[in-house]
Structure formats: C-alpha cells, structure tokens
Structure 1
Amino acid sequence: MCGITGWVDYGRDLRESRNTLHDMTEQMACRGPDDEGMWISPHGAVGHRRLAIIDLEGGRQPMTAEEDEEVQAVLTYSGEVYNFLELRAELAAKGHRFRTRSDTEVVLRAYLEWGIGFPTRLNGMYAFGIWDARTEELLLVRDRLGIKPLYYYPTPDGVLFGSEPKAILANPLCRPVVDAEGLRELLSFVKTPECAIYQGMYEVRPGSVVVVNRHGVAKERYWQLESHEHTDDVHATVRTVRGLLDDIVERQLISDVPLCTLLSGGLDSSAVTALAARALHEHGQGKLRSFSVDFVGYTEHFSPDEMRDTPDTPYVHDLVRHLKSLGVEHTDIVLDSGDLMDPVVRSAVLRARDMPTGIGDMDTSLYLLFKAIRAHSTVALSGESADEVFGGYKWFHDPEAVNSGTFPWLAAQGGQRFTALEEVLNEDLARKLDIPGYRAARYRQALDEVPRLPGETGLEARMREISYLHLTRFVQILLDRKDRMSMAVGLEVRVPFCDHRLVEYVFNAPWALKTFDGREKSLLRAAVTDLLPRSVLERRKSPYPSTQDPAYEKALRERAARVLSGHVAAEPLVDVAKVRALLDLPQDSVSRHDVRAALEGFLQFNAWLERYRVRVSL
C-alpha cells in the first residue's frame, strides 16, 4: 500500500515545478514511510510514497516501462492485485520480460498489453495513475468497490491527483474552498459517488477510469453491479460462498512482511481470522497474530444500547480459544479516556481524514489500535463490508427502516438527522443547506441506478435496492474510514469481503436465501459453521465499540468550554448558544449519546476550519 500523487499540465513545463511535486508527494509520507520517488517530464509528473509489501527491493516507484531506451509509460500505484501471479504468467507468454517480482510491474505491463480495458482483468484493491509518454495521456484507475481512495482536481490546462485531498491541496492551484454543495455532502452521511467536499475536487468513482488528455477529462466505467437470475439452491449457494472465501483469504495472505487479522468477536472478523489461521497452518507458514480494541472497564461495566447488545472481548477470547490448535496469538489493545482525548492523537485523526466526521472516539480508537498493531505487523485482514454484502445490519431486518423512503441507515437513527453537527448549526445556514432535501435528492439518484431484475417485485425488489444502496454508498463511508486510519500509521488493511466475485454472487442471491435460517447473514454463517464456536455463530451484530466511560464526556465538555472561551473559528456557521446550552445539560446516561455526538461534531468542525484554513463560500 502506498500514497500516490501527480500533476498533468499541457500549458507549462513541469520540470520547473519539482519543488511543488515534492510538496505534494511529502503529504503522502504517512501512507508510504519506506521510500519516496518522483518522475517528471514536460507535461506529466508523478510522485510516490511507498509502503513495501511485496518485492521489498524491486518494487520501487514510480515505475517506468521502456523500449529502445524510450519511456513508454510511467506508473504510480497504490494497492494490491491478488491475481498478479496468473497475470504475470499470461503476460510472460506474450513476450513481456519482467525485472521485478512485484505486482506493480504486472499492472504496468498489463496496460501496455491490453490498453485502457485492462482493469477488468485485475482482482484486488488499487488506485493508480499511468502516464502514457507516447500519447501524453493520463489514466486514473480505481478498484471496483472503492477500497482505495483516489481524488482529482481539473485545472485549466490539465489535472492534479492524489490518494488524499491533502496531496492536491499542497499545490497552489488548489485552495481549500468548500461551497454549499460541499457542506451538504459533508453533513448528509450519504457518500455520493464522485463527490469530494472541496470545491472543484472529485473522487474517481469505484470501478472507473478517468482519462486526461489535451481535449479535457473523460470518465468511463469498467465495472458496476448487475442483476442476474440466481439459480443455485441454498446448499449450492453456501458451498459457493465458502469456496470463494477460501480462495479470497488465501490470496490475500500473500505478503513479504508480517501479517495479522483484526478481530472483534463478531461473525465477520472471526470468519476471516479462522480462515486465515487454517490456511497458514496448512501451508506451514506459522502462527497468525490477531488484535482487538477494548476500553478500560468496558466489559465489566458494559451497558447495552440501541446499537450494541454485548461487549466484544468475551467473544474474541472464545474464538481464540477455539482456534488454539492452529496457534493464534492474540493481543487486546486496551485504551482509556486519556488516550482518546490526547490532543496530538485527535489532531492526527483530523489530518488523516482531511475533513471532520464527528464520530469522535470511534475514529480515535481505531487510529490508536492501528498504531499499536503497526509495531508488530504491516498488513492486517479485516471483516469490513460483510454486513453490506450479506445483509447484517439491524435495519436490513426492520420493516420500518426498509420502507422509510430514505437511506435505511438514516431511518434507523431516527429519521433524517444523522450527523451530530446539524444539532448546533446556525439556523439560517441550516435552512439554506436544506440537508433533508439534499438527502432526498441523493436517495432518488441512487434508486435510479439500481439494476432491476425483470419480474422481480415486492420484498425481493426492495431488498435488491437496499443492498445496492449499501454497496455503493454506505460501504464507502466505512472503507474510507478504515483506509485513512490505517494508512495514517503505515498499515495496510485488506478486506476479503470486498472481492468483486463474492460481491457479485451474493448481490444476486435472493433475499429469501440470504435469510434462509430466519437470521441476518444466513449465507455467511452457514458457510463458516465448521470453523467457529457456537457463541460467535449465535452472536447478534454489534458495531465497532464506543467508549462508555463518563470521564470521556466530561473531558469533551471541558474541551468545548475552553474552545468557547476564545476565538471560535466555526462561529459564523455554528450557533454558539446551542453549544453552550449542551454544556448546561446534566451529564447522565440519557444525555450521553446526543450531547457527546454534538460536542464531537462541533470540536472537530472547528478544528478543521482552523487547521485547514478552509474558506466557506455560500
């Protein structure tokens, strides 16, 4: 995994802008702490920061392909292609000669052999830019599910691009301006494809190629979800799911650096951990390490809430005991409120995100978990996205949320409100932004995209819509969070449940099959029953944990009071009186969630405006 950036400009000689390209590349140092490289020509320049995973010596970038001592193409690449060995053999049979063992060179040679259509041959998570020196044309490519981020910013004479907005913002051609549409996207919690909150900036849509040449910018989809009739019965479907999972996890264990799994004690991460431990054991590759996050006193004093019925740690330990014969080595990373409120850590989280999220300790604890893991491992496998693929969230099974006429994750949170910052917005701004209207428009846009199956009606048709909303919107929120927090400390996180073969197959399985045992994630549970203890198999879905320590809210209140006592950068946009009113409320279990969430939103929004010197243009 790495950080990439670049600049195409047909109106100037970029060889005179080496320092600017260096500044852009340096912004990606957190994503690639092992090496740095740049390649510059008159109109195309690319930068790269490397996290070395495969072929530690030979995989340096940017990587060039040459013929008769002339550069043909240059690649700056982030990610992993899990079928690179098969592709390498196919390309070698066609006459390509390889200098390295890396998947990077396979991607570059695949472009030279098959042209713009070559991403259809890739299985993996990736985001990369290819500068074709023969045509002076740039290709920006992103993986099918959008596991790896990639942004671009068209300019009058070309484009800037980078793994994260901060790389683009390091170029003087781009300023941190956010307009009304950007604020709407920031506050809506719907993750519209291609939308970045900074004015003039875009994300490359998952499964897409963006082509930049002297004629401008063009976009092309090479993959999207399609609807097909599913003819397998329940037993064949379960066998296929298991076969896919065995293959996917085994492919994703390829690494030249230490590897581990993220373990929460839920069905998803436990399945990945068990599959990985068994594969390593069968191939004689040693023990698997696993890690989980916990908070001081969390298990002992856990109080169920509307999202979480149980704490994670007992189930984590049950799974580890169950896999004892395979030799899993587990570590609990235990955090306290002081860790979560550390100003240095909170600042690092904001920088990793490039925007305020308002989810507070769930970002901070994830960052600290990944930082602790990075001391032992460079690659981690995660259970992320299984809920979107198999239908695991509670709201999938709540008729009121399913039929609410909006994104179901919003309905499950009490209607149109989700982001806590809305609670303290200036009233005039709130009316102008009309977040409910924006969500409604984005919801209609998403439904218009859903690939329909002829003759499918009723609940089956509606659940296809619900699945599509999650696989193209909600999953992007979570994948982006996991990528940013992990890459901020130079940790590569792989997501087996995002393999496009599994996603395509399960998307087309009827809802009746996905719930054949009367529960959530029926297909996944049946596929891994032989691997997991009964306690984990029967556990209900429990999202990523959030601290319940009253000391955390107390510290948030104190931090907010200090901010309010000085200059408040957010004051033109936030009703400070509303924030003060929150501080006047008693601290108790009833107020905990709403007050905490609103204060998190306010503090991060204010810090973002200050640190990024954002200009809000309304």
Structure 2
Amino acid sequence: MCGITGWVSYRGDLRAEPGAVTAMTDTMACRGPDADGAWVRRAVALGHRRLAVIDLPGGTQPMEFSTPDYEVALTYSGEAYNFAELRAELRARGHVFRTDSDTEVVLHGYLEWGAAVAEHLNGMYAFAVWDSRSESLLLVRDRMGIKPLYYHPTPDGVLFGSEPKAILANPLAGRAVDLDGLRGLFGWVKTPGWALWRGMHEVPPGAVVTVSRNGIRTDVYWALRTAEHTDDLDTTVATVGELMDDIVGRQLVADVPRCVLLSGGLDSSVLTGLAAKRLAEQGERVRTFAVDFAGQEENFRPDVMRDTPDSPYIRDVAAHVGSAHRDIVLDAADLTDPDVRRRMLTARDIPVGLSDMDVSLHLLFKAVRTESTVALSGESADEVFGGYRSFHTDAVRNARTFPWVAAPSPLNTKPDHLPAGLAAALDIDGYIADQYTSAVGEIEHRDGDSELERTMRVMSYLHLQRFVRLMLDRKDRASMSVGLEVRVPFCDHRLVEYVYNTPWAMKSFDGREKSLLRAATGHVLPRSVLERTKSPYPSTQDVRYAATLQQQAKELLIAPDRPVFALVERSWLEETVQLDPRAMAPTRRTNLDRVLDFDAWFELYRPELILD
C-alpha cells in the first residue's frame, strides 16, 4: 500500500521544477513510510511513497520499462491478489521479470493489454501509467473504489494524487470550496467524482481517466450489472463459502505481519475464523485486535443502533479460534484530544466525519501498526449481504431516498448548525433528492422481477455504489495515516457480483440478516456470534465525551472572528454548550463534534469559501 502523485504539463518542462513533485509526494509520507521515489521527464513527473508489503527489496517505485524507442513508467498503490497467476500468464507470453513484486506484474500487464490491464486484476489499486509512445497518462482505479485517487485539470495537463493534500501542495491547485463542494460534504451520498475542492475530481471506481494532448477522457471498465441467477439455494451457499475461503486465502499473502480487526460481529468473526484456519495450516496463529471504551461493557445502554456491547462476543471468538488477541481500550480523554482530531482531519482532508468513531478508528489502527503491517477488515459485508437494519425495515425500504438518510444513524444528522442563509443556498434536501434520482436511474432491472425484488435491488445498489464508498474512504484514510494496510475481503468483485444478483429470498432465506453469509461460514463461528444480531462499529456512551466537547466549543465562542462561524450559527453553538451533556441528543452531539472539526479544518487547510 502506498501513496502516488504526479504532474503532467505538455507546455512546460518539469525537469526545471525539481521540488514540485517532491513537495506533493512528501504530503503522503504516512502512506508510505518505507521509501520514496520520483521519475521526471520533460512533460511528466511521477512521485511515490512506499509501504513495503510484498517483495520488500524489489518493489521500488516509480517503476520503469524502457527500450531505445520508448519509456513506460508506473506509480502504483494497492495489491493485485492474483499477481502470481498473472505473472505466469505474462511469462508464457514472453515477458521477463526482474522482481517478485505485484507492481512489476501490473506494469507488464499494461505493456501486454494496455488500459485493459484493469480488467485482469483482482484486488484494490489506484495507479498511474505514463506512456511516452502516446504521451499519455492513464489513471486507473479499482472496481469498488477501495483505494482513493484524485485529479485536478490544469491549463496544459493535470495534477493527481492518492489524496487531495498531494494536489493541494502544488500552487496550480487553489484551495477554494464552493456551494457544490459543501453540498457534497453535507449530503453524505458520495456523489461520483466529488472531491470537495473546486476544480478537483475523484477518479470514479471502475474507471480509467486518460490524459493526453487532446484533453481528458473517462472510460468505465466495470459497473455493477444485473444478471440472471440460476443456482439453487444449496449451490448458492456453497459458492459463497468457496469464494470466501479463496478470497481470505489470497488476501493473507504478504511478506509482513498480518492480523484481523475483530469487532465480535458476524463479518469480522467470519474473517477471523477463516484466517485462523488458513494460518494454522501454515503453522501460524492468527492475531486479532479490537477497540473498546473504558467502562463500556459494564455501563452499556442499548440504543437505536446497538443492542449489546461487543466485548463478550470478541472474547468468544478469540477463545474459539485461539487467536493472539489484544484489546485497545480508549477513554474520553483519548477521544477528545485536539491533536488526535487534527491528525484525523489531516488524514481525511474533509471536516465532516463520524466523530468519536473516526478518532477511535485512527487510534485503533495506530496501536495495530506497532505489531502488524496488514490487517483484514469486515468492511462492506453489510452492503453485500444486506446486513443493515434498513434492509429489513419497510419504512426505510419505501422511503424513496438513500436508506442511510431515512434510517436512524449518525449519517442522517442534518447540519442544523448552519446559518439560515447558507442552509437555504445549499438546499441539502434538494441535493439529496437529485442524487437519489440519478443513482436509481443507473440500476438495471430484470423483466418479471417482483416489486419486492426491485426494491431490494435498489437498496443493494445504493449501498454498494454510494454508501460503501463513504466507509471505504474513511477506512483507507484512517489506516494509511499510520502506515497500516487494511484489506477488505468482502469487496472482492467476484463476491459482489455474485451476491448482488442473488434473489432477495435467498439472501434472507432464514428470516435473518445476512442469511447466506451465516449459512456459508457458520462452521468457523462460535454459536453466540452466529446468533447475534447486527451491531455497527462502536461509539462511546461516556457522558464525559459530550461534556468535553462542550468545553472545547466554549473556547470557540470567546473569539468572535473565527472563520468557522461562516458555517456555524453562533446562537446554535451558544445553546448547545449550555445543554446537560447527559441529556444531549445523539444528533446534537454529532453536529457539535463536526463544528469542532470545521474549526480545526479552517486552521489546517485555510480554505477559501465561495458561498455565492
């Protein structure tokens, strides 16, 4: 896992800009703490920060293939889990390899298939290829959008990077944020191509962006398609089981220490059980890590999202598989540390997140990184298998909006802290409605599908093409901010395609959420977890958390000229800091957290707001 960046300038000479690509690359040192590199020619400069995971001595980047007639250079982030098979295929086609890295396999794959190399890859990746034969740059992103990639057109080319901060380090990219940027920020619907910063764009998942002297073109090589499912239930369950076993086996391949992130829920427990089985065959013991909060289990109170604390189930799984387990226990002081908030904001580049759930994720990953370099995560299983409560709630299924907007969750917290004039100009409700209509219009339905089947296909599509991208971006930024590679087995495109087209009656055949996953992998689980209902990532219930946020917010009110008040109504904040923290509504606490995020963001990024 790494950070990539670069600059194409068809009318300039980038050899005269030696510090530019270095400055862009240096912003992502956390993504690649092991090495850095640059490759510079007249019209192009490529930068790379490396986190060494496979072929530690041989995967140096940017990687070049040259002949007397032309040069092709690659800067690559991610993992191709089928690189061994591809290497064998390419060798049979006459390619000669100098290293054992998957990077070189991707480079030679491009030489063999051109932009179509992406169609041959199984994995998570974002990479750029410069080809001197056509004087073109290809920006390629994986099918599900696991690895981030952004670009910013310039008058004579483009800037690009794994994260916006790399692009912002170049003077050609301004720091303006306009109303469209804020709509995408507050809407929580992951609009395709949205990147907050004016003039910047995200490379769409499953797409190739080609930059040439003729301009910039985007081509889609993968999309979520509807197809007939012909397998019966038993065959479907068996296929899911075979896929899961193969996927976990592939994603355990690494030349560095590995672990599994264990929450005690079905998804992470399945990965733990499958990984433990695989590693035991190699004479290894699986490592597991979990996040917890001081006093959470003893003082737990059920809420609209969580019925039970995680800790008892984590202990059951760790004992069941015999893992080397470690709990990362955090308290209110850890979660409200302003320095940690700033680190997470710098990692994400945007000021609206999931409050304490973001901070705790960052601190969990920081602790994991002291012992492991690669971690497997259960992210996206709910989107694939229909695990969220919204999938099983009629009111949400029929709401005609994004399910996570209609369902009770931290994500449907509307920004009620906005000044009235700005709220009217943004019209967030209208923006969400427009995005919903656009997203639903992309869905392919089959003739003869029942109304329920069509409804559930919409639910699945929206989660897989919009919501999961929010979660994957959060996971990537938090993990890479500490140099930890997090792999997401449930995002394997083979599994996604197969389960997406499985009828809803099969996905819920036993009347529970994630029926297929339970049936296919229950043999590796303790009974307590097999029977547990869905519980999302934990959030602290410690009243001291809200009280500390209030105290920090009071400090904002002392300085009336703070730029944060362009986005926050002062009277709202004055009212919020006076509330009893024990009775503060979860939505109010979330928005208070986000106000503090905005203040830190203004300090760190100095954005220029364009609000007309």
Task: Give the TM-score range, shorter chain.
Answer: over 0.9
Q: What does residue range 212-251 of structure 1 map to in structure 2 within 5 Å?
A: 212-251=211-250
Amino acid at match of 1:38: A
Residue in structure 2 matched with residue 509 of structure 1 by the alignment: 502
Residue in structure 1 matched with residue 11 of structure 2 by the alignment: 11
Task: Determine if the alignment matches structure 1 residue 113 to structure 2 residue 94.
Answer: no
Contact 1:358/1:602 (8 A) holds in 2: no
TM-score by length of 1: 0.97
Q: What does residue range 186-335 of structure 1 map to in structure 2 within 5 Å?
A: 186-284=185-283, 286-324=284-322, 328-335=323-330
**Deviation for aligned residue 1:359:** 1.9
Query: Secondary structure of the residue that 1:509 maps to in structure 2?
Result: coil
Distance 2:216 2:353 in 1: 34
Amino acid at match of 2:130: W
Contact 1:187/1:419 (8 A) holds in 2: no
Residue in structure 2 matched with residue 602 of structure 1 by the alignment: 595
Residue in structure 2 matched with residue 42 of structure 1 by the alignment: 42
Task: Determine if the alignment matches structure 1 residue 478 to structure 2 residue 477.
Answer: no
Residue in structure 2 matched with residue 498 of structure 1 by the alignment: 491
**Deviation for aligned residue 1:71:** 4.9
Post-superposition CA distance 1:74-127 (Å, at most 9, x none): 000000000000000010111111010000000000000111111100000000
Distance 1:202 1:452 in 2: 30
**Deviation for aligned residue 1:585:** 1.8
**Runs of 4 or more off by more than 6 Å in structure 1?**
none
Structure 1 residues 147 and 358: CA distance shift in structure 2, 3 A = closer
Amino acid at match of 2:586: H
Amino acid at match of 1:586: D
Q: Which moved further from structure 2: 95-104 or 600-609?
A: 600-609
Distance 1:321 1:283 in 2: 20
Contact 2:149/2:163 (8 A) holds in 1: yes
Amino acid at match of 1:393: Y
Contact 2:413/2:587 (8 A) holds in 1: no
Contact 1:189/1:419 (8 A) holds in 2: no
**Deviation for aligned residue 1:414:** 8.2
Distance 1:167 1:375 in 2: 26
Contact 2:305/2:408 (8 A) holds in 1: no
Post-superposition CA distance 1:448-475 (Å, at most 9, x none): 1012222213000110011000000000
Amino acid at match of 2:538: P
Contact 1:178/1:199 (8 A) holds in 2: yes
**Deviation for aligned residue 1:389:** 0.1
Contact 1:64/1:71 (8 A) holds in 2: no
Query: Secondary structure of the residue that 1:218 maps to in structure 2?
Result: strand
Distance 2:303 2:143 in 1: 35
Amino acid at match of 1:63: M
Identity across aligned pairs (percent)? 58
Contact 1:3/1:48 (8 A) holds in 2: yes
Residue in structure 2 matched with residue 376 of structure 1 by the alignment: 371
Residue in structure 2 matched with residue 24 of structure 1 by the alignment: 24
Contact 1:358/1:605 (8 A) holds in 2: no
Amino acid at match of 2:212: N
Amino acid at match of 1:430: A
**Deviation for aligned residue 1:67:** 2.1
Task: Determine if the alignment matches structure 1 residue 536 to structure 2 residue 535.
Answer: no
Residue in structure 2 matched with residue 363 of structure 1 by the alignment: 358
Contact 2:72/2:131 (8 A) holds in 1: yes
Distance 1:513 1:237 in 2: 8
**Structure 1 residue corresponding to 2:563, chosen from 566, 569, 576:** 569
Query: Secondary structure of the residue that 1:528 maps to in structure 2?
Result: helix
Distance 1:526 1:339 in 2: 39
Task: Determine if the alignment matches structure 1 residue 555 to structure 2 residue 548.
Answer: yes
Contact 1:227/1:452 (8 A) holds in 2: yes
Contact 2:5/2:25 (8 A) holds in 1: yes
TM-score by length of 2: 0.98
Query: Secondary structure of the residue that 1:76 maps to in structure 2?
Result: strand
**Deviation for aligned residue 1:572:** 2.3
Gaps of 5+ in 2: none
Aligned length: 610
Post-superposition CA distance 1:51-76 (Å, at most 9, x none): 000000000000001224x5520000
Distance 1:592 1:441 in 2: 29
Distance 1:523 1:331 in 2: 30
Amino acid at match of 2:568: V
Query: Secondary structure of the residue that 1:205 maps to in structure 2?
Result: coil
Distance 2:408 2:314 in 1: 28
Amino acid at match of 1:211: T
Distance 1:594 1:506 in 2: 34
**Deviation for aligned residue 1:413:** 2.8
Post-superposition CA distance 1:127-169 (Å, at most 9, x none): 0000112211000000000000000001110000000000000
Amino acid at match of 1:573: L
Query: Secondary structure of the residue that 1:47 maps to in structure 2?
Result: strand
Residue in structure 1 matched with residue 343 of structure 2 by the alignment: 348
**Deviation for aligned residue 1:520:** 0.4
Residue in structure 2 matched with residue 439 of structure 1 by the alignment: 432
Distance 1:573 1:287 in 2: 50
Distance 1:370 1:321 in 2: 22
Residue in structure 2 matched with residue 66 of structure 1 by the alignment: 66
Cα RMSD (Å) = 1.1
Distance 1:551 1:279 in 2: 43
Structure 1 residues 414 and 253: CA distance shift in structure 2, 3 A = closer
Distance 2:353 2:80 in 1: 33
Query: Secondary structure of the residue that 1:193 maps to in structure 2?
Result: coil
Distance 1:308 1:440 in 2: 28
Distance 2:429 2:437 in 1: 12
